[in-house]
Amino acid sequence: MDLKEHLTSQMAQRLFLVHPPEPPPHLLLSTPDQGIYVGKTRWLNVPVFWDYNKLINSHIAIVGITGAGKSYLVKTFLTRAALTWNSNAIILDWTGEYNRWVRQAGGRVITLGRESLNLLELAGLSVSERIKQIMSAFDILLTLHEHVEERYDIEEALEEIYDKVKDPTLVDLVSLMEKKGKKHAARLVKTFLVEGSDFFSRKSTLELEKLANSGLVCIDLHSLPTEEMRSLTGLTILQFLKEKMRREELKEKKGVNLFVVVDEAWKIANDDRSDVITIVREGRKYNFSLIVASQNPTDMHKTIISNVGTMFVLRLVLREYKNYIRNSLNYSDYIDNEISGFGVGDAAVNMIFSQRSEKAHTFLLDKIDGEEPLFVYTIKVGKMTIEVEREQFSRMLYELGLTDEQINLVKVDFERGDGTLEASRLVSLLEKFGYSHTSIMTFLRQLGVEEKFIVEVFSLTRRRKATKGVVDMRLKEEE
Ligand SMILES: Nc1ncnc2c1ncn2[C@@H]1O[C@H](COP(=O)(O)OP(=O)(O)OP(=O)(O)O)[C@@H](O)[C@H]1O
Ligand SMILES: [Mg+2]
C-alpha cells in the first residue's frame, strides 16, 4: 500500500471522531524534497511537512515555557533543512544553548567575546545607508526618542567621523563627541563600550560577507558582557543580512537558502522599529526565513505573531501569555485548554496558507517528531500532570543549586515511580535540602505548575508532615 492510500484508509477510520478541524491533507502533505517533516496531526495522524511554497511567507515563530521544546524544534528543523535543501543557517544565540549542538553537527561557533565587530563597518553599504541603520539600532537600544538633542548630536558626529577618519570605530565616535563637548551624547554611546571589552571598538574579525553561505553557524552572543551589547550585535547582523538578501535576486526554487534564528531576543523582537519586525512584515520579499523563539510571548511583537506564515505554540501556562497569543490567532477554547496541558514537544500550529481560498488554521501536533529519543519525567500535581524531559529537569535542578548528589536522590525517586513523582514528594525533598518556600514556589512556577495547584501542593506537603508527626508520636508512645 503506498503512503497516500494508507493515510486515506487511516483517516477514513478516524473520521467519525469528533475533533477540532484540521487543515485539508493536501496542504500538509508534501514530498520529502519539497517540505520539512515536523510531526503528525493529533487526530487524523496526517504527516505535517513545512512547505513554504504553500504558505504566505517562510517566517516562523515559536513560543513555549522553558523546557517545552523550542530549541529542539529549531534543531530538528535546521538539521532536516540542511539535508533536504542544503540550507545555510545562522543562529543568533542569546543564551549560549546551541553551542554544543552546532559543534556536534559539524557547524561553526563564533564566540563574540573573542571575535570583534566594528559597528561602523560599511559592509558594502553607503555611508548614509549605514548611518541610518546605526541610528535605528540606537533608537531602539538607547531609547533616543527621549533624548532628542543627543540623537541629533550622535547623528551629526557619525557623519563627521566617516568624513574625517578612514575606517572609523565606535571609540573614534565617542572621542569626537567628547572633544566637541557633547558629553551626554558621548555617555549614551559609551553604553556599548563596556570596560574590559573592546568588542565594538576594534576592526571586525567577523566576516559578515561570508556568513550567509557558511553552512551552520552559531553566533554566541552569550559571551558578550551586557544585554545592550548582545542586542546591538544581533541587530547589526540582521541589518546586514537583510540588506544582503535584498540585493540578491528572489529565486523561485524549492528550498530555503538561509535560516536565521533569533532565540530569546526580547529587546529586539518587540520593538516596532527593529529589523526583526520589518523582515516578518515584508513577508516574502527576502530570500530567507527568520525563526523567532521566546519563552515569553509578550516579548514578541504582535506583528510577528499575526504575520508569520507558521507559528508553533508549545506549552504555555500563564493566562496572560495564552491570551496574548490567542488574541492574534483566534483559536478555539478547546485548543486554548490543550496548550496548558501539553507535554514536551506537543504543539498547536498555526499556518497561514497562500491559496486564496484557504484561511489560517490552528491544529494540534502530537509531539515534534525529532531526531533524538525523549526521556520524560512526569510530575503529578493534583489533577494536573507535567512532563519534563529528564536532562532538562536535571539542568533546572542544577540551576536551582542542587549538588550532583542531591540531583541523583531526586532522580532515584523518579525512577522508582517509573518516571512519575508526586509534586508534594518533590517539595519535601527540596525542603529537606534546605530550600525556602519562596524558592520552591518559583521553581514550581518555572516548571509550569498552575498557581492554584502550587497552593495545593504545599498544603498537601504540610498535611503529610502533620500525619507523619502523629504517627511518629504514637510509635514513640508505644515504645
Ligand atoms: N519533541 C521532542 N522530542 C524529544 N525530546 C524533546 C522534544 N522537545 C524537547 N525535547 C527535549 O526536552 C528538553 C528541553 O527542550 P528544549 O531545550 O528544546 O526546551 P526550550 O523550550 O528550548 O527551553 P528553554 O526555554 O529553557 O531554552 C531537551 O532535553 C530536549 O532534548
Ligand atoms: Mg531553548
Q: How confident is the model at residue 293 (pLDDT cuts 50, 70, 90)?
A: very high
Question: Based on the domain organization, do 303 and 222 belong to the same domain?
Answer: yes
CB neighbours of 59 closer than 8 A, spacing ≥ 6?
279, 280, 283, 289, 290, 291, 292, 304, 307, 308, 309, 310
Are residues 90 and 217 in contact, defined by beta-carbon separation less than 8 angstroms?
A: yes
Structure confidence at residue 477 (pLDDT): 42
pLDDT digits 0-9 by tens, 376-406: 899 998 888 898 988 889 989 999 999 988 9
Average pLDDT along the chain: 87
Is the predicted pLDDT of residue 325 greater than 50, yes or no? yes
pLDDT digits 0-9 by tens, 247-275: 776 666 667 889 999 998 888 898 888 99
Decide: helix, strand or coil at residue 359. coil
CB 389 near ligand 1, within 6 Å: yes
Structure confidence at residue 16 (pLDDT): 46
Are residues 328 and 305 in contact, defined by beta-carbon separation less than 8 angstroms?
A: yes
Structure confidence at residue 115 (pLDDT): 84
Higher pLDDT, residue 238 or 104: 238
Structure confidence at residue 18 (pLDDT): 65
CA 69 to centroid of ligand 2, rounded, Å? 7
| pTM for the predicted model, two decimal places | 0.82
Structure confidence at residue 31 (pLDDT): 82
* DSSP letter for each residue of 82-114: HHHH--EEEEEESSS-SHHHHHHTT-EEEETTT
Sign of CA dihedral 15, 21, 26, 31: negative
Q: How confident is the model at residue 161 (pLDDT cuts 50, 70, 90)?
A: very high
Task: Take atom 8 of ligand 1 and give the residue whose Cα is closest.
Answer: 69
Question: Based on the domain organization, do 344 and 398 belong to the same domain?
Answer: no
Residue written as grid cell 516579548: 299
| β-bridge partners, 47 | 40
Residue 266 neighbours by CB distance under 10 Å? 17
**In the predicted model, what is the mean pLDDT of residues 451-477?**
67
End-of-domain residue from the set 192, 215, 248: 192
CB 374 near ligand 1, within 6 Å: yes
Domain annotation covers residue 73:
yes
Q: How confident is the model at residue 457 (pLDDT cuts 50, 70, 90)?
A: confident
CB 347 near ligand 1, within 6 Å: no
Is the predicted pLDDT of residue 72 greater than 90, yes or no? yes
Of ligand 1's atoms, which has the minimum distance to the CA of residue 372?
4
Residue 145 neighbours by CB distance under 10 Å? 10
C-alpha cell at 149: 538633542
Question: Based on the domain organization, do 60 and 132 belong to the same domain?
Answer: no
Structure confidence at residue 40 (pLDDT): 95
Domain annotation covers residue 198:
no
Domain annotation covers residue 371:
no
CB 366 near ligand 1, within 6 Å: no
Domain annotation covers residue 290:
yes
End-of-domain residue from the set 142, 160, 192: 192
For residues 313 and 468, give the distance between their C-alpha atoms in angstroms, rounded to a whole number. 43
Question: Based on the domain organization, do 216 and 358 belong to the same domain?
Answer: yes
Domain annotation covers residue 199:
no
Is the predicted pLDDT of residue 17 greater than 60, yes or no? no
Question: Based on the domain organization, do 219 and 351 belong to the same domain?
Answer: yes
Question: Based on the domain organization, do 302 and 169 belong to the same domain?
Answer: no
**In the predicted model, what is the mean pLDDT of residues 329-348?**
94
Structure confidence at residue 285 (pLDDT): 79
The ligand minimizing its distance to the Cα of 389 is 1
Domain count, the chain: 3
Question: Based on the domain organization, do 249 and 321 belong to the same domain?
Answer: yes
Question: Based on the domain organization, do 228 and 97 belong to the same domain?
Answer: yes
Give 185: exposed, middle or buried? Use CB within 10 Å, 0-12, 13-18, 19+: buried
The ligand minimizing its distance to the Cα of 74 is 1
pLDDT digits 0-9 by tens, 34-45: 899 999 999 899
Domain annotation covers residue 134:
yes
Strand ordering across the sheet containing 376-381: 384-389, 376-381, 420-422
Domain annotation covers residue 120:
no
| Structural domain that includes position 342 | 3-115+206-366
Structure confidence at residue 3 (pLDDT): 55
CB 431 near ligand 1, within 6 Å: no
Is the predicted pLDDT of residue 472 greater than 60, yes or no? no
Pick from 80-84, 367-371, 474-478: least confident: 474-478
Question: Based on the domain organization, do 163 and 278 belong to the same domain?
Answer: no
Structure confidence at residue 178 (pLDDT): 96
Residue 439 neighbours by CB distance under 10 Å? 13
Here the CATH number for the domain that contains residue 247 is 3.40.50.300
Q: How confident is the model at residue 8 (pLDDT cuts 50, 70, 90)?
A: low
Q: How confident is the model at residue 231 (pLDDT cuts 50, 70, 90)?
A: very high
| β-bridge partners, 75 | none
End-of-domain residue from the set 145, 163, 192: 192
Structure confidence at residue 291 (pLDDT): 97
Is the predicted pLDDT of residue 105 greater than 90, yes or no? no
Is the predicted pLDDT of residue 364 greater than 60, yes or no? yes
Question: Based on the domain organization, do 346 and 423 belong to the same domain?
Answer: no
| β-bridge partners, 49 | 37
CB 372 near ligand 1, within 6 Å: yes
**In the predicted model, what is the mean pLDDT of residues 115-131?**
90
Please tell me which of 146-155, 232-241, 397-406 the model is most confident about, judged by mean pLDDT. 146-155
Is the predicted pLDDT of residue 470 greater than 70, yes or no? no
Question: Based on the domain organization, do 271 and 142 belong to the same domain?
Answer: no
Domain annotation covers residue 122:
no
Question: Based on the domain organization, do 359 and 389 belong to the same domain?
Answer: no
Residue of 80, 344, 447 with the most ligand 1 atoms within 8 Å of its CB, for mutation: 344
Q: How far is CA 352 from CA 56, 226, 255, 362, 441, in A?
A: 6, 37, 18, 9, 39
Using alpha carbons only, how large is the chain's radius of gyration in Å? 26
For residues 119 and 236, give the distance between their C-alpha atoms in angstroms, rounded to a whole number. 7
